[in-house]
Amino acid sequence: IKLYLRKLKKEIKAKHRGKLRAGVLLLQDNVPVHTAQVAVAEAHNCGFELLPHPPYSPDLAPSDFYLFPKLKSHLRGRHFRNDDDVVHAVEEFLGDQDVTFFRDGIVMLEHRWTKCIAVNRDYVEK
């Protein structure tokens, strides 16, 4: 995790000059590798502020609230002969998306996180 956080800091420094001075908010889920003392200490050492994440929250996982519903809609009604056909259809869907598709999911994350905090980290209703 130390290597990951240091690489993240380096990438932010290279691609977004001046952003580190403004502060970096880091939202990670609560898997043990992210919450281990060494990981938390390294995040603070890198100057990142860790945002609280409710355990098992589908509200804050972009795959749950953004990606999977869109993928499900795209695949609805289709029949596949085997697992390889499913993998191909998913890869094709992801490959057809432009950068704004993925950016929109991240933008929605900020809104959902704010809403989640407003309801004391309880689940967010639709």
pLDDT band at 115 (very low <50, low <70, confident <90, very high): confident
- Of the candidates 71, 59, 67, 69, the residue with the CA atom closest to the CA atom of residue 109: 59
pLDDT band per the 50, 70, 90 thresholds, residue 120? low
State pLDDT tens for residues 32-68: 666 778 888 888 888 888 876 666 666 666 677 788 8
Structure confidence by residue, pLDDT tens digits, 102-112: 888 888 877 77
The answer to pTM > 0.95 is no
Alpha helices in the chain (DSSP H): 2-15, 19-22, 32-35, 37-45, 62, 68-75, 83-96, 99-118
Helices 37-45 and 2-15, interaxial angle, to 10°? 20
Task: Specify whether the CB–CB gap between 62 and 106 falls below 8 A.
Answer: yes
